[in-house]
Amino acid sequence: MGIHKGQAVPHAQLTIMSEDGPSPIDAAELLADGKSVVFAVPGAFTPTCSAKHLPGFIDKADQILQKGVDRIVCMAVNDVFVMNAWGKSAGVDGQIIMAADGNADFTQALGLEMDGRGFGMGLRSQRFALIVQDGTVEDVLVEAPGEFRVSSADHILSVL
């Protein structure tokens, strides 16, 4: 069973790239204040993630932020260097926080992991989005296997 509406964001380490290099941050602390949209992808640089998911949030970031969202976080079970390189290559330009869940600690704490070994990817995150207000989950939008709909930027805009 995964995380549900009304539950607190669990404590687990994520890593973001700062000017000083990799910077660990507790997910619960990152999402403690204000409204956050977190979207998770199975892997950086993978086809749907790179062609649709991240670009959709880049294109719609201003509209999402205008709906009262304080931060948009893209998360994947990848290392911080990969997430940083992916963000740079996609042109996030500081609009989206690229958060690495290198050991899948946050993903597992949410109960939203998937077994990607059949694709040579190991333990990964399911494709999902969370809407979080002051550290409490307001909405959990988990994609069915192979789908890309409810965690898209367009769908998030429709439910904010």
Domain CATH for 151: 3.40.30.10
Q: Is 74 a catalytic residue?
A: no
52: enclosing H helix or E strand: none
* CA-wise closest residue to 125 among 12, 6, 7, 31: 12
Position 99, amino acid: A
| Residue 2 domain-assigned (yes or no) | no
How many structural domains compose the chain?
A: 1
Catalytic one of 37, 40, 49, 131: 49
Q: What is the pLDDT of residues 94-112, one digit of tens each?
A: 999 999 999 999 999 999 9
Q: What is the pLDDT of residues 123-144, one digit of tens each?
A: 889 999 999 999 999 999 999 9
- Written as six digits, the tokens of 7 are 């539950």
pTM score of the predicted model:
0.95
- Residue-number span of the structural domain to which 136 is assigned: 13-159
| Residue 121 domain-assigned (yes or no) | yes
Residues near 158 by beta carbon (within 8 Å), at least 6 away in sequence: none
| Residue 81 domain-assigned (yes or no) | yes
CA distance 75 to 125: 9
Position 150, amino acid: V
